Chain A
């Protein structure tokens, strides 16, 4: 491999699935050449070699053009790799003086993707609290209080701090986070202590570190103001940078050690574009925790991190969530990287985007929206939930209820629990037939938990682009994924549906430099997402009568259908086609605004155009039989192959 590299691999190492893509410089822009997803036990090099072999069989000239030769093993070994990976689940123990405070802290920790156990001094005795923190399953402890602690928690804080300091002496590997008013007890952790001979024998050299006094400034504003300039000008600058870079790969490719030397020029040029900031709630880039290399000071036995209180930030708790995310996640965590990618894509496409990602170790919901003059800034918010796994560890009764609520087959609770547990053990097992239907129910239940846990995103209007990501959706037929999105995201509006089929959002989000990421996103915008279709979701359609009519103008052809309340109607509209739809409702409905007649632009996809005339929120019978029948009827219309 030489510095003539014009291609690289993008890899997403998930807990269950490893996805690999080949991206190459074709016709002066970066394109997605090929992609594949395999169970995580499969050798990555073999997968990449298989991809390149297929590229070589399809277009040998392209392979030579990209790599300089047709030597596939050499390409696999030398092409740069852009990789993201899922952070394994970690558990945090939340301690607080009062139940009220514990709930706030737990919410922030849950949204940061931690598995959470908690206790409060007003409800639990110190033995119970110390048991939570001493457990070897616990990776960190969060002790928090209000910025000015109230009487209900103030009296407990000294004892809690002493207890936690004692626990930290027993478990020097523990990371301690002191949030809000609890930070006043930092001295308990930094005071020199007597040695513990017994534990020195037991644990070897003391892993002592100085206290990390990170004062994290609360994020107060959702919109980061930038110099007023139009997006057009910015894009011009970016284009100029790209032109200056010529055919060279972007800087991140060079950082990956692929031996690309020209990339520095590209980086300089892009930096000259001076892109505006994106996320109002900054996404953590680095983690402080067990990976932190301790110093040599003796006497302090734990990693101590100071954090804002559970109410700081916008929305409340965002600042603490940010600190806890940084503590939990790898720097190249794929879930957070997806959120970064969505923010960049939102800027590039100039539209609001919402993504829901469901994986084995949790889920992500993120929303990004361009705002301000010239849509120059992007507002983002996101939440990662370990509980939003499609096969959660030790599924709760609520999780079982969720799966049963979306299941179209008769299952008892024990059977559901066993199947969920088996799904966790073998995530790729039984991916067809009944297994696929069960996975869909499990994915919908996980998605439902994620939606319930992010009410601050649900108050926004329907996004212009709704994206499904994660391994569980990758194997599903596109029309089924489209229906799942329609089932779960029930806000009136019109939205384009897409799927991160190649799982590129994670690897692209790992790129540190916002300008480079945007530049690559602009190149790959047509390739990153697989179009599923469009969703028209009006609210206020009266049941039991004809709802009106729809007229679709698609280039030279016109078609008209009658709309039926309570149904999901599908209009065939293939990918790459755009159309204008005129809707004429019998009664006034809400579709953005309230009215009878609407004219909207829609885009095609593998699932076509979905007109969802069901209730908002979705009303289905509470009786299991009726519920299953209704779900089955809707699903069968989109997934006839399930009866094969």
Chain B
């Protein structure tokens, strides 16, 4: 069984409908890349993007620059661009991918301001911007105008960034010397692109929903190793998995994250990740960005939440079926995007349920019947269900609010 679009919900008993349905797959989701002052979009709405295509240019160390007076050129009305300036089609953009850039969605290599990133590819938006009068958010390249004279024996650095505002006829910009390129980890169509604000893309294909994402959008081949008691030991993350997005089991530890980054692994997928580990990763990413040492983007996704629990069997089966294929980790919203047109769906009975919280969190089984209002520990009365876990003969009464069922 496979799907190319959302599967119509199966008929289920009304009592089972009270169990929270978890939609595992989403089709054609919309994702966001947030930009800030000094950042610009390299695409325009309607552009088709493919993995590895530059979509934005960031200025990590943007600071306030007094640009001075800018000459107001004759106003250019937005008209249909000439043929050579039209947004590149899928094929033409794909042809520009001169090398296999799998995973390198945000290059940390310093790019001179205003220079085109890929030889032969000049984003249309850049060409259009040059002939327009200054406006907030417009890309600006300068350097000679920077206050203070540079030392005679030092080279004048060029600055690039976006105009912020004009006061008393003088423009201020958020600009810096160092720039990084954000490459699209997925294929899709640009919905919205605004300098300093965001780039929004409608993804082509399907994606697996996550609860938490951290790090940067990244891309790699999906590696589903054999898990020991639902977990992957950190020492299994070796150099052989370079370039992979690894399914790491129930929980991602700080040690596993450090090791994965050291091995140039592109991403980790787990059932849960703690807030402590997320803070470590954020601090590590900031240090990495501040340094001049190039690093590959690394992202992680936790499918369930923060408390330890194994990856759900239906999701693990889905990931196993996609092993070896290219996938992308997207952080806003948390998604694992597949590059396949048709997603193979695992087959599970409609009454298959999983405990998502509480002392039995992570266990799975079959819904047997409703238990009505039931008195649980602490004198708490909750709507309950009778469930039989896998490999067990006895039944157990679980609060319905602790259960989830899967919808593909």
A residues with a Cβ closer than 8 A to B are 38-39, 41-43, 46, 125-127, 130-131, 134-136, 158-159, 162-163, 165-167, 169-171, 194-204, 414, 417-419, 421-422, 425-426, 428-437, 475-477, 639, 641-642, 644
Contacts A126-B172, A422-B306 aside, 12 further interface pairs with beta carbons under 8 A come to: A125-B64, A127-B64, A170-B136, A196-B137, A198-B132, A202-B192, A418-B275, A418-B306, A421-B275, A431-B399, A433-B358, A433-B376
B18 touches A42 (CB 8 A): yes
- State which of A126, A136, A194 has its C-beta within 8 Å of the C-beta of B198: A136
A431 touches B129 (CB 8 A): no
Which chain B residue lies CB-closest to A135? B34
B356 touches A169 (CB 8 A): no
Q: Complex formed: what's the CA distance from A283 to B307 in Å?
A: 40
A201 touches B45 (CB 8 A): yes
Q: Complex formed: what's the CA distance from A60 to B382 in Å?
A: 26
- State which of A136, A203, A422 has its C-beta within 8 Å of the C-beta of B34: A136
- State which of B125, B276, B306, B402 has its C-beta within 8 Å of the C-beta of A430: B402
A39 touches B401 (CB 8 A): yes
A162 touches B380 (CB 8 A): no
A432 touches B174 (CB 8 A): no
What distance in Å separates the Cβ of B383 from its nearest Cβ neighbour in chain A?
A: 8
Which chain A residue lies CB-closest to B200? A136
Q: Which residues of A contact B138 (CB under 8 A)?
A: 198
Q: Which residues of A contact B37 (CB under 8 A)?
A: 127, 130-131, 134
- State which of A38, A203, A421, A428 has its C-beta within 8 Å of the C-beta of B306: A421
A interface secondary structure, majority? helix
B120 within 8 A of A: no
Q: Top 10 closest A-B pairs, CB basis? A: A429-B357, A641-B379, A432-B376, A166-B136, A433-B377, A428-B401, A166-B165, A418-B306, A197-B78, A417-B275
Q: Which residues of B contact A136 (CB under 8 A)?
A: 32, 34, 197-198
B275 touches A196 (CB 8 A): no
- State which of B14, B38, B167 has its C-beta within 8 Å of the C-beta of A158: B167
Q: Which residues of B contact A421 (CB under 8 A)?
A: 275, 305-306
Q: Complex formed: what's the CA distance from A200 to B192 in Å?
A: 11
B197 touches A639 (CB 8 A): no
Q: Which residues of A contact B78 (CB under 8 A)?
A: 195, 197, 200-201
Q: Which residues of B contact A642 (CB under 8 A)?
A: 377-379
A134 touches B128 (CB 8 A): no
Q: Which residues of B contact A194 (CB under 8 A)?
A: 75, 133, 135
Which chain A residue lies CB-closest to B59? A127
B380 touches A475 (CB 8 A): yes
What distance in Å separates the Cβ of A240 from its nearest Cβ neighbour in chain B?
A: 43
Q: Which residues of A contact B35 (CB under 8 A)?
A: 134
B50 within 8 A of A: no
B18 touches A201 (CB 8 A): no
What distance in Å separates the Cβ of A157 from its nearest Cβ neighbour in chain B?
A: 12
Q: Complex formed: what's the CA distance from A431 to B358 in Å?
A: 8
Q: Which residues of B contact A169 (CB under 8 A)?
A: 135-137
Contact flag A167-B45 (CB < 8 Å), given A43-B17, A429-B402: no
What distance in Å separates the Cβ of A352 from its nearest Cβ neighbour in chain B?
A: 32
In this complex, the member of A159, A203, A425 whose beta carbon has the largest number of chain B beta carbons within 10 angstroms is A425
- State which of A196, A418, A430, A432 has its C-beta within 8 Å of the C-beta of B274: A418
B164 touches A437 (CB 8 A): no
Q: Which residues of B contact A126 (CB under 8 A)?
A: 64, 164-165, 172, 174
B265 within 8 A of A: no
- State which of A127, A170, A199 has its C-beta within 8 Å of the C-beta of B62: A127
B359 within 8 A of A: yes
